[in-house]
Structure 1
Amino acid sequence: MEKNELISIGQCKHGLDAKAAKTVKQVFMNNGSFNGKIYALPPAIVASIRTLDLYQGELREPSFQRIETEMDVSECTLERLMIDQAMLPASIDYSNPEKIYWPKAAINKAAYLVYMREISAFMLPFLQNRLLTLIRCPEGVEKESFFQKHLPDYAPAFIDRMTVDGETFMICNSLESLLWFANHGGIEFHVPFNQADTPYPNEIVFDLDPPSRERFDLAIQAAVVIKELLDKLQLISFVKLSGSKGLQIHIPIKEKSMTYEQTALFTQGIAQTVENQYANLFTTERMKKNRHGRLYIDYVQHGKNKTIVTPYSARKKDEGTVAAPLFWEEVNDDLLPQQFTIHNVVDRVKEKGCPFADYQIAREQQKLDNLFSLLE
């Protein structure tokens, strides 16, 4: 059922044993209407069907499993089908799958859970062993939202945690944890730049924040300029959309290779160099009223106890946009932040691959000699 309308998802002719086939046939012949070719009944009998997937609106290789005598037809919704097809962990009670999370983008909870399941393999590496901060929107992105970094009392035992000075923080290390948070309205996933068991950062990030989405072109220009500087320093860098109105440049580094004090000097040096070269376009001014339409290079955001949105996290924006990793060649005048949403990012990764696929390799290969020379 989709919005109380019956939709067809194909036919099933394999798997019924003789007894089940006879029972179903008898029910149709005794109670159904006959048009000269087939007997038809209104939606009433519920069956479990095993299938590979749903392709172009029809089940692939469906096989009958059993009649579900205890299940009502009202439970057989498109949202339920989406969740079943995604093979979500059975340990979680996926309540209210029809609830709308992004009204303007027509994305409900079921679609969001399916997205999180399908993108999990690419998202989880950036959540591993990091204290998690969530933005939760239990009733959707247009309703009340709140930050959460402490583990709630009702959280299941499979969610990892860390207690510091009497405070218990959340860590999202598994698919189960990721989907439990999503099922409870966790929309935005933010993490610090270091893992939970070390005070040393293992990545550096520049946050490029234009005054509005209409001036996204400034983010493109700033990213290109910073990329040229990083290339001259022989630093491997990655870029992603913030999912809001800007871009973020990531530089993976080995753990314990730099302190936050050292990375702060580096980010400040790069930001001020760019600002000095293009003072009419970019600024490091923290006060919005003093930026005068220029893009803000937020180097202060990279620091101890600060956080950044995780690659592939959804954002609390009307279009259902995603903090999508990009290939550097995509950072051009054709790029728009609203192009990358929950609707299309999974297909994009399947087709083109993940632009951050070599992130961990780059961390090990990163050479910081020129960077340290810059700090001297």
Structure 2
Amino acid sequence: MASERITLTVPGPAGDREVGLSSPNRVIWPELGITKHELAEYMIAVSGPLLTANGDRPVSLERFPDAVGGESFFSKNPPKGAPDYVESVTVTYNSGRRHPQLVLTETAATLWAVQMNTIVFHPWASLTANTDNPVELRIDLDPQPGTGFAQAVSAAHGLREVLREAGLEPWVKTSGNRGLHVFCPIEPTHEFLDVRHAVIAAARELERRMPDRVTTKWWKEERGERIFVDFNQANRDRTMAGAYSPRALAGASVSTPIEWDELDAVDPASFTVRSIPARLAERGDPWAGLLERSGRIDTLLQWWERDLAAGLGELPFPPEFPKMPGEPPRVQPSRARKPDA
């Protein structure tokens, strides 16, 4: 018996395209009854701002063959048989290996991703024109046990002040979970390692001002009840959920751009696959024009050099990275070998 299948027609730069959707009634979010077809309709409704934020750049797709809560895997490379409107760009990974990576440039491509069981879109911070140099400085404010969204909001306000003092203009979005993502558009003049150092400099400055509320400690056992300023999300090939991307959580939450003046009253759980289209229709996209006002990271890099001179060196990299110059030992502090008494 043939599986159920529908066809969706969407406009594109080359005219209307027809995209097939198999198993449209398969339930993806069981608690809410949201189906694959409803997710596809969501992608059509938000395609403009979603592509502005996530298109024309390398992207990894987080795919769920069944439903949220089930097994998942990441797709980075264009699979065999992908339609010609699903583009790719060759990127260099941290290992030095070069390989094509997916690029989404039109609505039909996002629907194809849904057909491939994608729920979460993870874009790089760089564009296809120059994948080695980010156009965004990204900081993930990650609540630790004993903290929550309210504490992330407080940290975000403090971080905004720090970044503005460095000559950058921050934009904010919910992570789709408990945290916040702060982005600054930057000129693509520096490669990923430099941008990571700029993020570390901003994080350390925020930590000086809010030592009881934020931390840059990489090891969880050292963080305490503070917001972790995740500097490692600035690394090459490390990504976070993109703007307007759904999350694979029970409530079908969405990582949602917001205005700074609404941050204090925001309930991130209210931003869902079902609510965001109406929000966009009513308020528009708070991130419209984000890349039109790019700043420079020169001041943050001066802070980085200042901190180096003061004895504050490199911080740990993620475990899948090769050993990096100046990096401290990758060993949990409680397991580190103690010097002889």
The equivalent residue for 1:359 is 290
Match of 2:254 among 306, 309, 322: 322
The reply to whether residue 249 of structure 1 matches residue 177 of structure 2 is: no
Matched AA of 1:94: L
Match of 1:271 among 203, 210, 215: 203
The equivalent residue for 1:346 is 277
CA distance in 1, matches of 2:201, 2:98: 37
Structure 2: which 5+ residue stretches go unaligned?
92-96, 306-341
CA distance in 1, matches of 2:288, 2:24: 31
Matched AA of 1:343: R
CA distance in 2, matches of 1:306, 1:215: 23
Aligned residue pairs, count: 293
Match of 1:215 among 136, 142, 148: 148
The equivalent residue for 2:163 is 230
The equivalent residue for 1:32 is none
The change in CA–CA distance for 1:104 and 1:204 in structure 2 (over 3 A counts) is same
In the TM superposition, what is the alpha-carbon distance from 1:263 to its structure 2 partner? Answer: 2.1
Matched AA of 2:204: Q
CA distance in 2, matches of 1:371, 1:126: 24
The equivalent residue for 2:59 is 132
In the TM superposition, what is the alpha-carbon distance from 1:335 to its structure 2 partner? Answer: 2.1
Contact 1:112 1:342 in 2 (8 A): yes
The change in CA–CA distance for 1:202 and 1:166 in structure 2 (over 3 A counts) is closer
The equivalent residue for 1:36 is none
Correspondence list, 1:113-262, <5 A = 113-163=40-90, 167-198=99-130, 199-211=132-144, 215-256=148-189, 258-262=190-194
Match of 1:285 among 205, 211, 217: 217
CA distance in 2, matches of 1:212, 1:245: 11
1:200-253: per-residue Cα shift (whole Å, max 9, x none)? 111101100002596111110100101122233342110000112100000001
CA distance in 2, matches of 1:289, 1:369: 33
CA distance in 1, matches of 2:200, 2:90: 32
Could you tell me the percent identity over the aligned residues?
Answer: 27
| Higher mean C-alpha displacement, 271-280 vs 315-324 | 271-280
CA distance in 1, matches of 2:125, 2:28: 29
Matched AA of 2:139: F
1:94-146: per-residue Cα shift (whole Å, max 9, x none)? 11111101111221111110100010000102223311111101211122211
CA distance in 2, matches of 1:216, 1:325: 15
Matched AA of 1:215: G
CA distance in 2, matches of 1:289, 1:220: 23
Match of 2:234 among 294, 302, 320: 302
CA distance in 1, matches of 2:126, 2:109: 20
Q: Which secondary structure state, in structure 2, belongs to the residue aligned with residue 300 of structure 1? A: helix
Contact 2:254 2:273 in 1 (8 A): yes
In the TM superposition, what is the alpha-carbon distance from 1:367 to its structure 2 partner? Answer: 5.7
Contact 2:142 2:152 in 1 (8 A): yes
Q: What is the CA RMSD across the aligned residues, in angstroms?
A: 2.5
Matched AA of 1:187: I
CA distance in 2, matches of 1:84, 1:310: 24
The change in CA–CA distance for 1:154 and 1:114 in structure 2 (over 3 A counts) is same
1:242-286: per-residue Cα shift (whole Å, max 9, x none)? 112100000001222x33333223211111122222222211111
Matched AA of 1:143: G
CA distance in 2, matches of 1:109, 1:87: 20
* TM-score with structure 1 setting the length: 0.72
